[in-house]
Amino acid sequence: MSGARKPAARLGPQLCAHALHYLLFAYRGRQLLRRRPSLGGPRRPTFGVPGDDVALTIDDGPHPRWTAPMLDLLDRHGVRATFFLVGDRVREHPELAREVLAAGHLIGNHSMTHPQPFAALARHEITAEIDRTQREIEDATGHTPRLFRAPGGNWSPGVLRTTAELGLVPVDWTVNPSDWRSPGVDRIARTLSRTRPGQIMLCHDGGGDRSQTVAALAEVLPRLTDRGLRFVTVPDDR
């Protein structure tokens, strides 16, 4: 009997995490329709930024092929972004993490190994994923992140509680072009072009071929700045 229970015990957290994923998907849809997305709270993710600014966030790096072109693009357009870095990739490419910080961007924590579904992990595993990444980023850059984004945005009460206990601000997003799927430059650009004041954009420089993301942002960044939108980093002092 005990052997029969083990697969079910493992399946429970997985099912809960997947259910939370779809609930959060619906909640993000409501945030997208709101005039102003929620700024979050002590144990609630932030979906937006104050005022009429917008925030560009870049996940899953640093990447030896795509982080440098992303930095060059942002520099050409005078855009500051928030990079959510994966600890294992910081360990492999600490010089790229330093370049992100030196270019004036903000660095956040995006877990050590990017496990999914993140909310299915045990509490001690969640703590280790976040804490180890803090140390890798600190060792590489001297900077201590204050922001955390769960892999896949897979939040749960346990993930949010752990994030708060570690003194970090949980950050989600409002505008998601699903660029990690490589759906085409036009589709990515079309979604990002709809960004409104107060919203947080989600893009990626790691996890695969990000040529479409770089090309789409090359179109979108001047388009948004021409509309009078100003890019800021996600506030880390909540």
Q: Is 204 a catalytic residue?
A: yes
Residue 84 contacts residue 211 (beta carbons within 8 Å): no
Rounded Cα gap, residues 69 and 215, in angstroms: 10
Residue 143 contacts residue 101 (beta carbons within 8 Å): yes
Rounded Cα gap, residues 95 and 231, in angstroms: 25
Catalytic position from the list 93, 105, 110, 204 = 204
As a three-state string, the secondary structure of the chain is CHHHHHHHHHHHHHHHHHHHHHHHHHHHHHHHHCCCCCCCECCECECECCCCCEEEEEEEECCCCCHHHHHHHHHHCCCCCEEEECHHHHHHCHHHHHHHHHCCCEEEECCCCCCCCHHHCCHHHHHHHHHHHHHHHHHHHCCCCCEECCHHHCCCHHHHHHHHHCCCEEECCCECCCHHHCCCHHHHHHHHCCCCCCEEEEEECCCCCCHHHHHHHHHHHHHHHHCCCCECCCCCCC
Catalytic position from the list 59, 60, 179, 205 = 59
Active site residues: 59, 204
